[in-house]
Amino acid sequence: MLNAVEERAKAKSRRESEDAQTGANWQNPWEKQRFDFDRLKPIAVIFVVLTFVWYCWRYGSWDKPDPDKSPPIIDVSTAMPDYTLSATELGEAYSLLTGSPAIGDKKYLGKVLVVHGKIAFVFMEASWNIILDGGNKGLSIKCWISNESKFLLPKLKEGQIVTVKGVCEGLGVEVVMNDCIIMK
């Protein structure tokens, strides 16, 4: 038994001396290897910098609209409406089937509208909203309800006909109207 242990030790020392002479660096594959973290430092720095740039771009202030160039704030409750129309007409103006978002924007964007239509949904997102049905060919109208009309929301039901007054903000997923007040 001792001879086998001595033979393994001699073989190991012979292999190490041969490796030292030839410059080879033999390592046992079953021994744990140390990971070289110094190679990862530049990659980690690049990752942190790119993450910071993305965060600044996503949540930063340089892409915010300039307040001097933004449209004036409209007091919807006292403003005279520019157009009075049904939800179907507004939805069809922005629909690709019957109109065009560019044509709808040219006519209605930034204008005070009085829109009447059937309520499809009443829900809370970041604020209270109602969705008006835009008909078969039109898009639905998403109305962000102002604080003045929030007390009326519990009384509203799906399928009810309602008239809202608000500012048209153009096309998102639906046609969006902000600062809406419920008139009927």
Token digits of residue 4 = 């086998």
pLDDT computed for residue 68 by the predictor: 53
Instruction: Tokens 């771009």: give the residue.
Output: 57
Nearest to 150 by CA among 164, 134, 167, 132: 164
Ranges of the chain with pLDDT below 70: 1-2, 18-36, 57-72
Instruction: Name all domains of the chain by residue range, CATH numbers in brackets.
Output: 2-59 (no CATH), 83-182 (2.40.50.140)
Instruction: Convert the pLDDT of each residue in 41-95 to its tens digit.
Output: 888 889 999 988 887 766 655 444 455 545 567 788 888 899 999 999 998 888 8
71/66 Cα distance (integer angstroms): 10
Tell me what pLDDT residue 63 has: 44
Dihedral sign, Cα of residue 164, residue 170, residue 173, residue 174: positive
